[in-house]
Amino acid sequence: MPESTEKPVTGAGCLLRVYWMLVGAMLPALLAILIARQHGFAFTLKDVFYWLGVASVIAARYVDIRFTHGQTAEGAPATMKHWAHYALILGAVALLVWISCHLVAANRG
């Protein structure tokens, strides 16, 4: 029987995948709601935590691919090209969401 060329999934790799796919998205989403519910266009600690949350998801994806033989959401081996694409798309979407939330807050204030 031929040996599998797939790398085994470690516990750390599994946790990282759960974080960047699910848990990590909750913090920026919750903070986006809180930013939109404030009054006026003010930069607050919520904004700092929003961007730290976005950065943590991008960093978790990087560590997953670089050190724990990360996979795509479909189970294929992930590459640094996948990470760069993920980071670019997530960063752009996060920026649009953040700006939108501040515009909603400014119209409330």
For CA atoms 19, 21, 24, 26, the dihedral sign is: negative
User: What pLDDT digit, counting tens, does each position of 54-90 carry?
Assistant: 999 999 999 999 999 888 878 889 999 999 999 999 9
How far apart (Å, rounded) are the C-alpha atoms in residues 96 and 48? 16
pTM: 0.84
Domain boundaries, the chain: 18-108
User: What pLDDT digit, counting tens, does each position of 11-63 carry?
Assistant: 777 888 888 888 888 999 999 999 999 988 889 999 999 999 999 999 999 99
